[in-house]
Chain A
Amino acid sequence: MFDTPDDRRYMESHEWTTTGDGPVRIGITDFAQDELGDVVFVELPDEGDELAKGEEFGVVESIKAVSDLYAPVSGTVTDVNEDLFDQPELVNDDPYGDGWMIEVDPSDADEFDDLLTPEEYEEQIE
């Protein structure tokens, strides 16, 4: 029922990340946006901020819920999706595409291995 692209890794707290050496993109899953309902506000870190794996990096708000965002991997924030400040609905419309949140230059490639595979994540949300 929910889209879970197989080219990324997931967290139990419903964030996704692309994988690889270069900057990776991070956002929330289709399941998460559906649970939240209409997203109305997104708070994101600044470019250049250092994130540790599992650390809070922002907040996503719908009309009646607030959810913290957790970093899937450690690294430096290299880009922030500023479109979300004016169009938070992109998170609902296209959670894996235009609704991405930050780009991070990962500092430890091994951390990806600890994340959920698409199959494992789908199992979790069933």
Chain B
Amino acid sequence: MYYDQARYGQNGEYEPLLSEKDSTTVEVGGAASSAGGDENAADGDGSPLPDHLTRDSLTLPELSEPELARHYTRLSQMNWGVESGPYPLGSCTMKYNPKFTEDAAGDPNAAVHPDRSEQSVQGTLEVLHGLQEYLGRVGGMDAVSLQPPAGAAGEFAGILVAKAYHETRGDDRTEVIIPSSAHGTNFASAAMAGYDVVELPSDEDGRVDLEALRAAVSDDTAALMLTNPNTVGLFERDIVEIAEIVHDAGGLLYYDGANLNALLGRARPGDMGFDIMHYNVHKTFATPHGGGGPGAGPVGVVEELAEFLPSPRVRETETDSLTEPGYELFEPERSIGKVHGFQGNWLVLIKAYAYIARLGDEGLADASAKAVLNANYLGSRIDYEIPYAPFHHEFAATAGEQDAADVAKRMLDYGVHPPTTKWPEFVPEAMLTEPTEIENRETLDDLAAAFNAAASEDDETLATAPNRTTARRIDQASAARDPRLSWHALESDGE
């Protein structure tokens, strides 16, 4: 149904670009501007500003509302979301996004400005405080800041906390250790904070190599950033020893929360010895991914590091009322300051709160149980080898002699979203697959069938896929060699 070319690709044309639909040029300004800048230029229908302060013209499409509604509806029909079908994109946790959370976030009383007085936004502060509490409990962390607007921003904030901690102790440390299998953001976040990155190889079981870790830590180690379960779904069984090695060297242990969906109710980063973590609420707590964002990446820390968290945080305060607590913003004593201009992605945080409340203890634990069951069930049904086990919520299958990217394109033809491909790099031709808890057995069987069909096909069939999608294989080299990044670029190309 989705791939119906007749419906979306009439006459071989896609939905036209807006620029091609009746662009209009509007002249801007035009008020007579006297030599001294006439303050009364604002009179009447003319421009309220003198010419020398305005642009000359603006050229944009001018469409009626029905035309626009069709445009965006058609575009949406040319897009795959979680509700279109399975979306087992490894490390991204593409869960169903409960509708009611959207309505909860749309509450008009929640639409407040960030500069409102604290006493006039007690409801907002209460929800923020509630989410800080929930996240602290789920992660086993003593204090949480909700400010970071994405996972990578949470990493950056967390590493700045580590940096501030060391600096406060007069301890000059220059390195952050990161397993080579980690998310690219870890490396980039550590580097942005000014650290040298020390890459740690995986051992042959796919986990942290303890000997390599012992050799890597030193007086220069500010932190080890770790994902657990790691990026091929394995639990780092030596986590206590890992924590000891890092702590003995004076370093801190950072938890990348990308894979937290595997552990809900069964293990907590705080109990494993992690000092700092970020949560990906758009993964674990089902807020929509929005075609790339917004997400949110709250950062949690143990008690000793709470004074460094981004500012402001929310705390309870004394009130006159005996039954109703009050809330206030405060700046942690040695706060690293800000990683977002205001308070982060507020609307996303409301949705996360609503999701956690909906599931509660049992629901969260069940989400992990079913996520892990689904991954294991799917893994047991596919013909591709999975080199590393026992995995949890995701697995890295290898395409072997096939090209993983080609397998993915072929899977599109079978009506499913493919896994993350060619990552992590230490798995040859990796296909990182994370079905999440939302798929039923039948859908997992369909997914397995898509994998297995591709597994039995020849290279040419794979290389020429996909055939049934709205667009055929896209020429990536052409896009990069000759960047055309706006409709203006197309016009100047004479297209």
Contact = CB atoms under 8 A, between A and B. Distances in A.
Interface of A: 38, 40-41, 61, 63-64, 88-89
A40 to B, nearest CB: 4
Contacts of A63: 476-477, 480
B468 interface: no
Interface in B443-481: 476-477, 480-481
A89 B481 contact: yes
Contacts of A40: 477, 480-481
9 contacts: A38-B477, A38-B480, A40-B477, A40-B481, A41-B480, A41-B481, A63-B477, A88-B481, A89-B481
Contacts of B481: 40-41, 88-89
Interface string B176-220: 000000000000000000000000000000000000000000000
B48 to A, nearest CB: 46
Contacts of A64: 422
A63 B476 CA distance: 7
B477 A89 contact: yes
A40 B477 CA distance: 6
Contacts of B477: 38, 40, 63, 89
Nearest to A64: B422
A85 B476 CA distance: 17
Contacts of A38: 476-477, 480
Contacts of A88: 481
A106 to B, nearest CB: 32
B201 to A, nearest CB: 19
Closest 8 pairs (CB-CB, A-B):
A38-B477, A40-B480, A63-B476, A40-B481, A40-B477, A63-B480, A88-B481, A63-B477
Interface in B335-361: none
Interface of B: 422, 476-477, 480-481
* Majority secondary structure of chain A interface residues (helix, strand, loop or mixed): loop
A103 B213 CA distance: 43
B474 to A, nearest CB: 11
A64 B476 CA distance: 9
Nearest to B481: A40
Given A40-B477, A40-B481, 14 more contacts: A38-B476, A38-B477, A38-B480, A40-B480, A41-B480, A41-B481, A61-B480, A63-B476, A63-B477, A63-B480, A64-B422, A88-B481, A89-B477, A89-B481
Contacts of B476: 38, 63
Contacts of B480: 38, 40-41, 61, 63
A61 B481 CA distance: 10
B424 to A, nearest CB: 14
Contacts of A41: 480-481
A6 B477 CA distance: 31
Contacts of A89: 477, 481
A38 to B, nearest CB: 4
A126 B476 CA distance: 29
A109 B476 CA distance: 41
A119 B477 CA distance: 32
A87 to B, nearest CB: 8
A94 B413 CA distance: 35
A61 B477 CA distance: 11
Nearest to A86: B481
A33 to B, nearest CB: 13
A89 to B, nearest CB: 7
B66 to A, nearest CB: 39
A71 to B, nearest CB: 24
A92 to B, nearest CB: 9
A88 B481 CA distance: 7
Contacts of B422: 64
A64 B480 CA distance: 10
B463 to A, nearest CB: 13
**Residue of B422, B476, B477 with highest tally of chain A CB at under 10 A:** B477
A43 B186 CA distance: 26
A118 to B, nearest CB: 28
B343 to A, nearest CB: 36
